[in-house]
């Protein structure tokens, strides 16, 4: 099936089997290997990308569902010479160890801060009418779909807090 998407700001056209996941389209067909395949069940978050401004697990989504969508992967956030503020904060705060989950963590963290700015509540938000804030509990709840086997959670929260306060 023919498919058109805007990926990292660039219009792309693909011809894909309708059973191809967005993750496999990115990695196997477009060679955007920054997005990682972890559990392939939507439980670890290593495959998190940003679609139309919202984070999703790309392993759970068929590519054909994203006709005309705007997709941002870790490659689209920044480059080694021009890091996105979240990427720079992860480096500064050592928000990674082995690095496998890092692309998904960063994409999710960028989206989490946008959710908070937009007043989107989470399961631990106390006052849905008030300021959601940046409590450690709030950040950890929102990032709970992204697993780091190395345990860099406190460093990830520090990186997110720095970017949010900037």
Closest to 32 (Cα-Cα) out of 86, 62, 71: 71
User: Structural domain tally of the chain?
Assistant: 2
pLDDT digit string, tens, across residues 77-101 = 999 999 999 999 999 999 988 899 9
- Beta bridge partner(s), residue 5: 12
pTM of the model: 0.93
Residue 15's contacts (CB-CB under 8 Å, 6 or more residues apart) are 1, 2, 3
35 and 101 inside one domain: no
What is the 8-class DSSP label of residue 122? -
pLDDT digit string, tens, across residues 21-41 = 999 999 999 999 999 999 999
124 and 153 inside one domain: yes
> What CATH number corresponds to the domain at position 44?
3.10.20.30
Query: What is the residue range of 13's domain?
Result: 2-77
63 and 107 inside one domain: no
Residue with tokens 């937009």: 118
């Amino acid at each position: 099936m023919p498919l058109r998407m805007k990926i990292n700001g660039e219009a792309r056209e693909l011809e894909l089997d309708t059973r191809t996941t967005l993750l496999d389209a990115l990695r196997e067909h477009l060679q955007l290997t920054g997005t990682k395949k972890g559990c392939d069940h939507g439980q670890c978050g290593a495959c998190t990308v940003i679609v139309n401004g919202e984070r999703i697990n790309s392993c759970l989504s068929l590519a054909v569902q994203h006709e005309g969508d705007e997709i941002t992967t870790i490659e689209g956030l920044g480059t080694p010479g021009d890091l996105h503020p979240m990427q720079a904060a992860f480096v500064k705060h050592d928000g990674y160890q082995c690095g496998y989950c890092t692309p998904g963590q960063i994409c999710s963290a960028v989206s989490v801060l946008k959710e908070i700015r937009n007043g989107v509540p989470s399961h631990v938000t106390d006052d849905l009418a008030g300021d959601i804030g940046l409590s450690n509990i709030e950040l950890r709840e929102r990032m709970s779909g992204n697993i780091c086997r190395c345990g860099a959670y406190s460093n990830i929260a520090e990186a997110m807090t720095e970017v949010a306060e900037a």
